[in-house]
Structures are given as structure tokens and as C-alpha cells.
Structure 1
Amino acid sequence: MYLIELLRNWPCTVNGNWRDVVIRKVTEHPARAEAGSLFVARKGASYDGHHAINEAITNGADAVVIDRPVSSAMISAWSAAGTAVITVPDSSRFLSFCAAELAGNPSHDLKVIAVTGTNGKTTVTHFIGQLLGGMGVPAAVIGTTGCYIGGERLDIDIPPLTTLTAEYLHPLLSECRARGVTHAALEASSIGLEKGRLTDCGIDIGILLNIGADHFEDHGGRSGYIAAKKLLCSLSDQMIVNEEDAVCMEMTACCEVPVHRFSRDRFLDQSIDGDTAARLPAGLHNRLNAMAAASAVRLLGFPAEAISRSLGSLTLPPGRLQLAEQYSRKVYIDYAHSPDALEAVLKAVTGLNPRKLVCVFGCGGNRDREKRPLMGKIAEQYCDHVIVTADNPRDEDPAVIAQHILAGVEKPHRFTVELDRRKAIRQAVSMSEPDDIVIIAGKGHEAVQIVNQDRFSLSDYSEAVAALDAIRSHTRT
């Protein structure tokens, strides 16, 4: 697309040669800049794209976008290098618009369902994909675990974000469209909504699952977090809301688009019977997740009876109550990393009547400190023994994080601290006996652990399998 076409209806000032410039790609990452690309110098929380303009131009960018004053000397230097310099009111907003335009606005050709909530986004989007697949509909699922079409994960280079930035999202939707996809289920995180990543994505149905304690610090507190989640209401043509969550109901009370409700026993106009409920994945939280997904598919026009029949075949995505089992010992790996999610998972496995329940978990560093003692208290309530370990400590001392968790417990003798996550997992599995259940919570499908700025390979599932194998070897000996 000619640059002049991109700028046609956009308030801006332009310096340098721009009339004959053809743009094939937009990016905010200077390393991805190349000939035919437009570099958007966006300012983030810890990164300022203005500092990378020279790098982007060196890499071949034909145009750069800024939204703050720079010296006339710098603009002259960039223009002299043959680069068009465009000043707009808001770089982030322009990036979103430009990415959608260059990709051909693929969301306009798809039925898009966006799912938000503190917990359950990944599960609900995968459930939607499975239900649509059962109806013969080619559907994509995009979120925390990657991009799936027809249940198969695409081998595609996208960042590991819950909600992709516009730079990646719209080209991915275009790729899905080219592969015959007609429906897409997306995860909408609070950060993604607040940062405008979905602003230029047409959303047919928005789903509001629940509001719990997570990511408050990213939004300046609970009210900011709720306000970010509520943005989905203004982006969607219709909303589906969990009527069992009072905060969600309040958030949609003045919604300007149609609002539909679901509960543990009903998806829109269809109630489920006991047999159907018994065939759903374990836990009340997954029952609600299933009803949310069924509501979306029903709202798309598919028969309630066909949806009800398909509910019993739903399977959880990777890292959600994922089971490793040997020698009558069950180890469940789950992504639960908030108080509500941890309690939901522990309730679910308690319902399986374990002889003893052991939990391994930690809390991530550099965020949400107030949830740490709450999670310690919840683990104490449900578990016979808890091993506190490192999650993704990032720049924080994991020993300090562990102490924050322990501050919420009243029976510390039931807790052990082992900050090496591999050792913690093996310790929990080795101390288990037949008919016990071990829960490893917090990282789920993730295959890395983040310590300071480094990423180390670590899979909870693989470590659990290895620990179970060690028990087998010991038994044989």
C-alpha cells in the first residue's frame, strides 16, 4: 500500500520523501525493520521507540512515525537519508490502524469472539474452537498457548503474549483467513485491552468470565483493572456475561450492546441436565467455562441440541489440569497463578477424593504482591502439605516472595520451602503415596522459567513425568 493511502484520513504532518513510498510492513521493533517497512516509534512502560529510530533506518525502514516533538536537526537528518518522517497524535493508535489496513482488515471477514476475565480465557477459547470444530466449522484459537487451527498448533513466529499486539495479530488473522478459517476465538487480556491491541479488530462477541485478584499493579489498582476489562464491552457487537459473578454483572449493567447471560446450569436459552454436567471437565470453574463457550456458539446460531451433545467431548488445553499418572499417583499440572484460580483447581481435585493432597506453587516476581499471602492461605485450607517454590521470580528474590506467601498461613509446619522448582516437584512426587494427588500450580504449559532477564528451560509436566519415572525405578529396585 502506498504510504499516501495509509495517511489519507489520518491527522499528521510529514517531512521528507513520502509520495511514492510503498509500505509492505509495519513494526515497532527496530530489528524487524527492512526495506518497505514503516517503523512506529511507540513509547512503552520500559521502552521508548524514539531511541531506536536510527537503528530502524539503518535496517532499511522507508518511513518512521513519531508522536512527540524531536529536534528539526534530527528530522532533517532522517529525511536526508531518504526516510519519510510522519508525526501523528498517537503512535500506538496509528500502529493498530496501520497493521489492520496493511493486512486487509481480516477481522471483517471472520466471526471473532474475544474472551476476557481473570481466569479461564485460554480454556474458553479452546472450548469454543472444539465446539465449532465439532460442527464442521474451520476455527482458529489465538492466545496464551499460541495459535491453533482445527486443534493443530501452527508453527509460526509470534511472541508469547496472551493478546498479540496489532503488529502480529492482523497478519495472523490474515493467514488464518487464507487457510479457510471463518471463526476466531481470541484471548483479551487486561493489558491488551488497555493498550489498544484490539482497537481495530472487529469483535462480534465479547465474553466476560470473572473478576479476581491479578494484575492490579499493572493498572494502578483494582478499579483500573476492572476498567481495562470493561473496554471489551465497547469493542464488541454483543456481550456474554457470567451471571454468577456480581462484578461482571455490574460491569455490563449499562452496556450499550445486547448482553446475554450464562451460569453453571445454562448457556443462553438452554439448560443442561445432570448427565451432561457429569461429562464436563472437573471443577465448577470448568463447568462455567464450558457454559461460556457454549453460549458463544449458540449465539452464533448453532443448534442448542447439537451443542449439548458436544459438551461431553470437551478436553482441556495444555497445562490446564493436565494429568501425569503412574503407580496410583496422580500429578496435575495447572496454570493457576491467582487466588481464585488456585482455589478453583484445589476444589476440583478435592472432589476427586484424594487420600492426601500436596501442592507445589510459587508467585511471579515484579507484580501483584498482595495476592501472595492470599494464595498461601488458600493452599493451607485445601492441602495436607504445601511446597512453596519459585515461579518466575524475575528481578525479585524468590526467598522474599516465599516469605510473602507464608505470611498468610497459620500452620507453617505444613509448609516446606524449596526454591529450586525441579527439586520441589520431585520432592512432592516422591513423598506421595498411592491414591494421593499432587498439584503443580502456576506455570501450566510454560516451558521456561524467568530469572532476572534470563530464560531457562523448565516444563512442569516433563519434570512431573520424570519424578514419576524415578518412583518406578525405585519400586523396581
Structure 2
Amino acid sequence: MKLKANDFKLLLEGNIKSFSLNGEEIIVEGIKDNSSEVKNNDIFIAVKGHKADGHDYINYALGNGASLIIAENEDKLPKDKLINYIIVKDIKKATADLVYSLNNISIDDFSIVGVTGTNGKSTSVSLVHHILTESGLNSTLISTVEIKINNQIIKQPRNTTPGILEIAELLKLSSESNSKIINIEVSSHAIDQRRIENLKFDIISYTNITRDHLDYHKNFEDYKKTKLSLMNFLKENGKIIINIDKLNKKDFYSSNKALITYGFDESADYVIKNFEQNIHQVKFTMKTIDNEFVEIVSPLVGKFNIYNIVNAFIIAKLLGIETELIIKAVSSFKGIPGRFQLVPSSKSLGFNCVIDFSHTPDALEQVLSTAASLTDGRIIIVFGAGGNADQGKRKIMGEVVSQKADVIILTNDDPKDEDPQKIIEDVLEGIDQTKQFLVIPDRKTAIEAALSFANKGDIVLITGRGHEQFQLFANGKKVKFNDYEVATKCIETIKRGLRR
């Protein structure tokens, strides 16, 4: 593709501060915001991020063959060479405007569903995707766990919500696959960092808003305000769905959009009633906004998953799926890796081992309460707290676990750049010293210990990392480690020992 100065003026209308284009035309093969990915004739977007400044990598991008630099800070352009550049007022808007225009992407061609909240996003959005594909519709899933078009995995996600360029790439691929429904998890980081620039949502669903990411946000109010600002991205006729048991309707009135509620509260538009569960499934009744009573059976267990199911049900109805198709699809959805995921081989030893991603105080409370409702035995928990994250929640996590678990094994999660021992000490402040607890820093040893302690009827919860495939340490060190795989191998070792 060849572009002239006037083309850029039209594409970036009102956003250009200054520019210098040496020649009548510029060849554009692609757009990149990572200098190491730049190839010959790519545009390099120099974005000042939360941790790194793309302006510092302009020379590297030029060395890789960048044909044009788009930046905000003219002072950081190289002074010793003649280059093509455009200085803009708003780099995020420029990025979105360029990539969407050059790829002929129109948001109006898609129905876009955004699910946000502290907990429940991945399961909700993945279930919606499952319902759609099971109902014969093309659908795209963009989540923490996986990125898929229909049943084809496109790539493994780096973040809960991708950046502007990656979202545009996925929209283009979706369009080429005739997938016009986009289901996307939206994190507070993505909203604040404007990764969703130029997106417009048909439906936005809020699962809950509880404490998280206070290492990034100034305080809880800032975190909540960021989450609520997603409403600014609704299309004109967009709709909002909220869990009325967890959220206040008044927080959503400012949007002046249609508001649909669900929960156990009788005032909800969709009321949850009469649920019962065992370790393998949940059954409940739901009264719909049309006063119909729907019976739902699902392999997903836990009150938190009932919320996720109803949330997905409402979204699917708004997308035009018939009730019977939704019920059938819900019954066949076995969940996603690391979300109250049962390790089947544990049953042969007489107890149940469950892997769960819960890494906030609220999520831990929910998963522990679910475990308590499913057993008369003990709850043994393996948990820790992540590094480079909200330090204030660590003591609270220790308090929650002390209230709900019978045996506590405190271990490492992903310490990242922090001192693992300091993280453990922070969590220990909240643990009741009269409880049965051990500190075993090595996570594999901690899991082995928990499984060896378990008696018939107990539940072993391994929490914090869920589906994650690597444990993260200082200086970018990554160690292959998946809780489900480690637990499965430990159980097999125990079984071999019993056969001797």
C-alpha cells in the first residue's frame, strides 16, 4: 500500500501537530507498536506505556526498516538522520484510526459483547461463545484463557484484553471468517490504557466490582470509576447487564442505557431460585424478565458459576438465541481450565482436588464457600499471593482463608520481581495462628503435601494460578508450571505408592 501526505491528513484528521514526509509516497506494509516486530516498510507507533516509552526505541525501529514514525514527542526524534515522521496530539486515537481505516474495519459490521468485572469474566464470556457456536453461529472469543474464532484457537493471549493493533487484527480475521459476533473480556487496565479505543459495544455486562489491581489504580474508587467508564463505549442502542446482588443500580443510571439485572434478589429482571448442587453439577430455576420459569442443569458448580450462567443466558437471549438452544448448550459446557476445575483422578483416592484461579479476597471467599457446601470433610487449601500486585490484599486473603479452610498451606504464587519471602510474610499477617497451617515456599512440594494430607471426603483447593502455564520469577524468569498437571502427577505418584 502506498500513501501520500493527504491520505495521512484525512486518516488522522485534526490529530496532526507536525509532520515531515520525504517524498511523494510512503510504502506501508504494516503497523507495529513493538520495535522488535518492525519489518521493512512498517509504520512504527511510538507509544509511551506504563513501563516503557516507545519513543526510546525509534532508532531500533528505523534500523528494522520502519518507513514512517508516528509519535507524540517530537523532541525524542533522532536529530542525526532524515526520517519520515508524523507528530500527533493523541497517539492512541491515531493508532486506532489508522489501523481500522487501513484494514477497512467498521465496528458497525459487528455485534460486540464486553464482559467486565473483578471475577467471572472468563467463564461468562467463554460460555456465551460456546452457546453461540453450539447454536450454529460464527463467534469470536477474546479472553484471558484463549482467543478463538469458532472452535479454532488463533493465539494464546498475553493480556486479558489485547492492545489496539491486536484487536484490529482479530476483527479483520473475524470478518474474513464471517464471524460477526465478538465476545471480549475487558479489564480495567485495558480501559485505562485505551486498548479498546474505537470499539463500540452492543452489550456490556458487569459481573461484580471488588478489590483488585490496587497496585495499578490509586485506590478502589479509581478502580471502580475506571470499570464504570466502560459504559462510555456503548453503541447508541447498547444495553447493560449487571449482577444486582453485587452491584448498585444507581451506579449505572448515568449511562441512560437499557439496564437488565439478574441475581437472587426478587427485584431482579432475571431471578435465580431453588439451586442445588454436588461436586459434578448444579441445578437451578430462573424466572425470566418475561415471567417464564427456566430449569437449568450445568456441570459448572458454585453460586458464582450460577451467576456466570445466568449472565451468559441473558447475553445469548439479547443476541437472538432461543431458550431451548441456550439450555442445551449450557448443559454441555464443561467450563474452562483453572476455574473450579476438578482433577478427576483424585476421586479414586476418596477426596476431590480442585484447581481455581481465585486470587482476590472475594474470589477466595466464594470458592471456599462453594467447597464447604460440597463436603462434610475438611477443606485443605494451597494458596499464595502474586508479586508486582496489590500488596494490601495479601493480609485480607490470609484472613479469608483462616475463616473458611481447615488446613492451610501457604506457598509461592508468581512472585515476579518481589522477594517471595516478603510476600509470604505479608499473607501471614492475616492468618490465624491457631489454625493448622504450614508454610512451604516451593509450590510443587506444597501441592504434594496437601494431597498427601487429604483423607476420604476432603476437598483440596489449589488456588491462585488456574490455567497459567508458567510460574514467574525475578528478571523475567519463567518456569514451566501448571497446577492441574502438577496435581495430576502427584496423585498418580500417591496411587503407585498405595499399589506397592
Q: Report the TM-score, using the length of structure 2 for normalisation.
A: 0.89
Residue 461 of structure 2 is aligned to residue 457 of structure 1: no
Partner residue in 1 for 2:56:
51
Map residues 357-372 of structure 1 onto 2, 5 A cutoff: 357-372=379-394
Tell me by how many angstroms 1:152 deviates.
Answer: 4.0
Distance 1:268 1:195, change over 3 A: farther
Tell me by how many angstroms 1:51 deviates.
Answer: 0.8
Map residues 328-407 of structure 1 onto 2, 5 A cutoff: 328-407=350-429
Tell me by how many angstroms 1:353 deviates.
Answer: 1.2
Quick one: distance in 2 between partners of 1:145 and 1:106?
26
Partner residue in 1 for 2:41:
36
Quick one: distance in 2 between partners of 1:428 and 1:142?
34
Distance 1:159 1:130, change over 3 A: closer
Residue 448 of structure 2 is aligned to residue 447 of structure 1: no
Quick one: distance in 2 between partners of 1:90 and 1:77?
26
Partner residue in 1 for 2:492:
469
Confirm or deny: 8 A CA contact 1:366 1:396 kept in the other structure. yes
For the residue of structure 2 that corresponds to 1:212, the secondary structure is coil
Residue 96 of structure 2 is aligned to residue 96 of structure 1: yes
Q: Map Cα deviations across residues 96-138 of structure 1 (whole Å, 9 max, x no partner).
A: 3223223322543221101100001100111101111221111
Quick one: distance in 2 between partners of 1:65 and 1:318?
40
Confirm or deny: 8 A CA contact 2:401 2:408 kept in the other structure. yes
Q: Map Cα deviations across residues 379-400 of structure 1 (whole Å, 9 max, x no partner).
A: 1122110111111111111111
Range moving further from structure 2, 158-167 or 263-272: 263-272
Q: Map Cα deviations across residues 256-306 of structure 1 (whole Å, 9 max, x no partner).
A: 322222224158625675842x53511111000111111111112223343
Q: Map Cα deviations across residues 330-349 of structure 1 (whole Å, 9 max, x no partner).
A: 21111111111111111112
Give unmatched runs, 5+ long, in structure 2: 265-271, 273-285
Quick one: distance in 2 between partners of 1:128 and 1:18?
50
For the residue of structure 2 that corresponds to 1:281, the secondary structure is coil
Tell me by how many angstroms 1:447 deviates.
Answer: 0.4
Quick one: distance in 1 between partners of 2:287 and 2:148?
25
Confirm or deny: 8 A CA contact 1:137 1:182 kept in the other structure. no
Map residues 72-91 of structure 1 onto 2, 5 A cutoff: 74=77, 77-78=80-81, 80=82, 83-91=83-91
Partner residue in 1 for 2:15:
11
For the residue of structure 2 that corresponds to 1:246, the secondary structure is coil
Partner residue in 1 for 2:267:
none
Distance 1:316 1:293, change over 3 A: same
Distance 1:170 1:412, change over 3 A: farther
**Code of the aligned partner of 1:54:** N
Map residues 287-366 of structure 1 onto 2, 5 A cutoff: 287-326=306-345, 327-366=349-388
Moved over 4 A (4+): 270-275
Match of 1:175 among 170, 173, 176: 173
Partner residue in 2 for 1:110:
110
Q: Map Cα deviations across residues 437-473 of structure 1 (whole Å, 9 max, x no partner).
A: 1111010000001101211111101100011001101
For the residue of structure 1 that corresponds to 2:125, the secondary structure is helix
Partner residue in 2 for 1:242:
243
Residue 284 of structure 2 is aligned to residue 284 of structure 1: no
For the residue of structure 2 that corresponds to 1:118, the secondary structure is coil
Partner residue in 1 for 2:278:
none
Range moving further from structure 2, 261-270 or 217-226: 261-270
Confirm or deny: 8 A CA contact 2:375 2:459 kept in the other structure. no
Quick one: distance in 1 between partners of 2:478 and 2:143?
20
Partner residue in 1 for 2:70:
65
Partner residue in 1 for 2:289:
269
For the residue of structure 2 that corresponds to 1:252, the secondary structure is helix
Map residues 403-422 of structure 1 onto 2, 5 A cutoff: 403-422=425-444
**Code of the aligned partner of 1:135:** S
Range moving further from structure 2, 92-101 or 313-322: 92-101
Tell me by how many angstroms 1:206 deviates.
Answer: 0.8
Range moving further from structure 2, 403-412 or 28-37: 403-412
Confirm or deny: 8 A CA contact 1:38 1:64 kept in the other structure. yes
Range moving further from structure 2, 105-114 or 42-51: 105-114
Quick one: distance in 2 between partners of 1:69 and 1:133?
48
Range moving further from structure 2, 90-99 or 170-179: 90-99
Distance 1:317 1:87, change over 3 A: same
Match of 1:233 among 227, 231, 234: 231
Match of 2:206 among 193, 208, 217: 208
**Code of the aligned partner of 1:128:** V
Give unmatched runs, 5+ long, in structure 1: none
Q: Map Cα deviations across residues 148-196 of structure 1 (whole Å, 9 max, x no partner).
A: 2334423x3x651000001111101211221231212100000001111
For the residue of structure 2 that corresponds to 1:269, the secondary structure is coil
Quick one: distance in 1 between partners of 2:98 and 2:443?
43
Quick one: distance in 2 between partners of 1:391 and 1:3?
52
**Code of the aligned partner of 2:312:** A
Confirm or deny: 8 A CA contact 1:261 1:268 kept in the other structure. no
Quick one: distance in 2 between partners of 1:412 and 1:153?
47
Confirm or deny: 8 A CA contact 1:240 1:261 kept in the other structure. yes
Q: Map Cα deviations across residues 55-111 of structure 1 (whole Å, 9 max, x no partner).
A: 00000111111112316xx55544x2xx31110012223223223223322543221
Distance 1:192 1:271, change over 3 A: farther
Q: Report the TM-score, using the length of structure 1 for normalisation.
A: 0.93
Tell me by how many angstroms 1:410 deviates.
Answer: 2.2
Q: What RMSD, in angstroms, separates the aligned Cα atoms of the two structures? A: 2.0
Q: Map Cα deviations across residues 195-237 of structure 1 (whole Å, 9 max, x no partner).
A: 1111212321111110111112211111110111112111022
Quick one: distance in 2 between partners of 1:397 and 1:19?
55
Quick one: distance in 1 between partners of 2:439 and 2:100?
48
Distance 1:269 1:36, change over 3 A: farther
Tell me by how many angstroms 1:408 deviates.
Answer: 1.2
Quick one: distance in 2 between partners of 1:468 and 1:271?
47
Quick one: distance in 2 between partners of 1:461 and 1:300?
34
For the residue of structure 1 that corresponds to 2:455, the secondary structure is coil
Quick one: distance in 1 between partners of 2:150 and 2:454?
38
Tell me by how many angstroms 1:329 deviates.
Answer: 2.5
Corresponding residue pairs, total: 468
Partner residue in 1 for 2:136:
136
Quick one: distance in 1 between partners of 2:408 and 2:339?
19
Confirm or deny: 8 A CA contact 1:330 1:438 kept in the other structure. yes
For the residue of structure 2 that corresponds to 1:198, the secondary structure is coil
Confirm or deny: 8 A CA contact 2:96 2:165 kept in the other structure. yes
Identity %: 27
Confirm or deny: 8 A CA contact 1:15 1:75 kept in the other structure. no
Partner residue in 2 for 1:435:
457
For the residue of structure 1 that corresponds to 2:496, the secondary structure is helix
Confirm or deny: 8 A CA contact 2:114 2:185 kept in the other structure. yes
Partner residue in 1 for 2:184:
186
For the residue of structure 2 that corresponds to 1:471, the secondary structure is helix
